[in-house]
A and B are shown apart, each in its own frame.
Chain A
Amino acid sequence: METLKLAFFCWESLHSTFKVGGLAPAATELAENLARMGHEVHFFTRGEGGDATINDVHYHYCLPYGDNIVEYCRTMSTMLVKAFRACDTPAFDILHFHDWHVVEAMHLLRDRNTVFSYHSTEYGRHGGNFGGWWEFQEISGKEWYGGYIAKTVTTVSNSTKTEVMWLYNVPEWKVTVVPNGIDPSAYRTMVDPGEVKKHYGIHPLAPVVLFVGRLTYQKGPDLLMQAIPRILATRWDVQFLFAGTGDMRGYLEGMAHGLPVQFLGYVADTEHLRLLNACDLVAIPSRNEPFGLVLTEAWSAERCVVATDVGGLSENIDNYINGIKVPVRPDSIAWGICHLIDDPAYMQRLGKAGRRKVMEKFRWSVVMERMLGVYKKVLSGSLR
């Protein structure tokens, strides 16, 4: 395949000064893997400082402003397009837009070969609820428009595909599922779990359940918190670590009083890695999860998971083979954790099976091929 000139539009990347969510690694790593293949990748995003080339990807930064999120994204989009036009000779082959923030940029460039990726939906980010406030309406509108004008659309899972088809009337033929990729070798390290646990004042042999993610309604940390007393009723020595921060933290800390729970706040990558490899089980109690990067991260570290039966989690976990899926209810989450936590050998088996699944389906080389397939289809015009 000839090499392509690709433009990525995304409001965050791993190499910008702004706080990073789950979208950043997904977009950045895709860009880097494409660049490694020899494609010319330009990444238009927010950030301070001048343009930079990191890991073969060319970053073009802008500093937007605005009174509210919608306004802010509008100015960002115009700035990104301006930066884009500056390097549009020779012309870009594919313009890849990530999430609603950059839809207005896509509007300005709608005649080109555009790909729009839904990493999540506004409905999903609110735990599968509709909101009546104006931002919700505005953002949903942009998500609809993005799906409408893009030449093709990708989603990170089948459930997100169904969700956008239902929410925004995107026709089925226009949507391809391309999961988020992962570099499994980056998540498995040799650490002594006992040492890591000791660092947090936990007995080196106490079973530890880890939650990683934003402490927001969508991720369901409150469901896990409500499950804890039920777990402790059958097993007394389990400890819980919550890595991440968010608007629910204060509320959760109130709930955690007297429970074996520690809030670690935002943890750095190296610490995240140590935690992942030291914990006994990863809990993913999300109410809505388009893909669930936490899942593939846990699997890469050979950890077993107890996850709610929603979205990408539901799709990717094979129940009792590489994890346990439970309904979105505290007592079910408690049941799942109790079912596993007493049996370390069983947990290891599930974790190992998870890692095998990652190697089969979620490695970047596999995922990138699928994305390139989408680009090829746009270029050949076979979509119309």
Chain B
Amino acid sequence: MTGEDSNPPAVCLGFDIHYPCYLNPGFRPDMVKGKRNLKDSYFNPDAKEDFRRIIDRSFTPATEILLDLLDDGLKCAISISGVVVERLEAWYPETLELLSRVATHRNAEVLAATYYHSVAGQFSDLTEFSDEVRMHCDLMNEHFSVTPTTFAHTDYPITPATARALTGAGIRAAIIEGSEGAGAERDPNYTYTYRGLPVLVTHCDLSDDIAVRFPWREWDRWPLMADRYAGWVAASPGDCITLFLDYRIFGDAIDPATGILEFLRALPSALAAEGVTAVHPSDAARATPHGEIGKTAAPPGPQGCQRTILQQSALEALEQAGGLVTDPEVWRCLLDTDHIRRMAMRSVSCGRPLHAVSHQATYDHFASFMRILSDAEERSSASTRFPSAALALRCVPPEKAFSFSSHERPVGYAAHSLQELASMLEFVPDDVIRYHVEREDFSRWIDQVIGDGKLAGKIRSVSDRIRLQSTIQKRIGKLWKRLS
């Protein structure tokens, strides 16, 4: 495979330009009594200033460098989320102007993405996912007059369903992440197909040399120089190395004082000196595929990707909330992958800044997230036909959640909605059910927290797991029917 005289691989360089809707961590429901614009209370109120800072530190200098490099013949790809375009248009049109010079440059390829950089691809219903892909395509068309055909699918593993949805939306290739799911199966340096869709797999080690290890003085390769890095790329076996980097790495996540911007400037010529050519992802994807990946179907359910309990609860609540939150803008901002990423203690970086926090931090983030989602649902319920039904279906923040416990100890998980209670009843140990039934905890919680007195009355005397579950499930079905 690798040999002294083999040609160096090509390199596919991509940049992910996004600025998430950060939450307002201090949000409390009583803060917004009588307020009209909820978005300001839910999300970081200083977003405009914060975004300015990132533009000054990262977007502007990096883009200026990139423009020079493109003029010199570098081929690269960028993905600009819809949120960023919207915000730049409203707040900093001159930066949008600068970015559009990149996007419309003949040597740049614009990638497709989800409009809100969202987790919608992980839902069982992919309508939102397809909608966002289409919205994003339209936006790119409107602003930069291009129709992207390569999709950046890097925040969670690709599934047969998302691959199908992408093909349906006119996407002809995808960049997928090399650290988990189907991407981790094989050597990342080749083009593969996944259910017929050509895919490029990001090279996590080489991505993280830049995104994570670059500023580490303890690293035995520090300081990393562009020519050395280019040597590593050139020595890699395979056809094409795909790097998909968070744009904020250049100047914001990694301080300019470390020389990261100079690294970016020197990289293309260093690569060229090693005989490595830069290509567009859409061109790399046209290469003869090296095989089909993802053939051995991952076990069904969420185990295919490695989620935490908190992430699972949040994702379930989010999908439900699609039908409950009346302001789609608020819901879609909550879909941002960044929120879910922060609910794990360590997430795979693979081209993104390092994320390693304590369990407390993930829990705090989860708590504010659920508080906001729950509040949005509560507020929306008033405008539905059956407010009580919408209320009963909402999720609740951790302080109101149903924490399972036995005589001896808490079991270690909690239900944040009626639906989650029903699904957790499937595997809760028998002694835990007995304990809660004895104390009438289930009916009390449903009555006092969820606010469904009727269901509470029905299950008060039920002690059997199956009957508890089916009664609750039936009631949920009835409530949804009432809302539709």
| Residues on A facing B (Cβ under 8 Å) | 190-194, 197-206, 234-237, 239, 257-260, 342-346, 348
Contacts and interface: CB of A to CB of B under 8 A. Distances in A.
Given A198-B427, A203-B427, A234-B359, A344 B306 contact: yes
Contacts of B430: 201
Sorted from nearest, which 7 A-B pairs have the closest CB atoms?
A201-B429, A198-B427, A344-B306, A342-B345, A192-B299, A203-B413, A343-B346
Contacts of A202: 412, 427
25 contacts: A191-B299, A193-B299, A193-B303, A194-B299, A194-B303, A198-B426, A199-B427, A200-B429, A201-B427, A201-B428, A202-B412, A203-B309, A203-B412, A203-B413, A205-B302, A205-B307, A206-B413, A234-B359, A235-B345, A235-B359, A237-B309, A237-B413, A258-B408, A258-B409, A345-B179
Given A235-B345, A258-B408, A345 B303 contact: no
Contacts of B34: none
A193 B411 CA distance: 18
A260 to B, nearest CB: 6
Interface string B378-392: 000000000000000
With a 10 A CB-CB cut-off, give which of A206, A235, A259, A345 has the most chain B CB atoms: A345
Contacts, number: 77
Given A194-B303, A234-B358, A346-B346, 15 more contacts: A193-B299, A194-B299, A201-B411, A201-B430, A203-B411, A204-B427, A205-B311, A236-B359, A237-B309, A239-B412, A257-B408, A342-B356, A345-B179, A345-B180, A345-B306
Contacts of B344: 342
Interface string B340-384: 000011101000000010110001000000000000000000000
Interface string B160-190: 0000000000000000000110001000000
Contacts of B345: 235, 342-343
A205 B309 contact: yes
Contact of B348 (A194, A236, A257, A345): A345
A236 B424 CA distance: 18
A379 B317 CA distance: 71
B318 to A, nearest CB: 16
Contacts of B409: 258-260
Contacts of A193: 299, 303
Contacts of A343: 345-346
B360 to A, nearest CB: 9
With a 10 A CB-CB cut-off, give which of A192, A200, A201, A348 has the most chain B CB atoms: A201
A249 to B, nearest CB: 17
A205 B409 CA distance: 19
Contacts of B429: 200-201
B432 interface: yes
Nearest to B406: A201
A206 B359 contact: no
A174 B214 CA distance: 53
A202 B429 CA distance: 8
B301 A192 contact: yes
Given A192-B301, A201-B432, A206 B306 contact: no
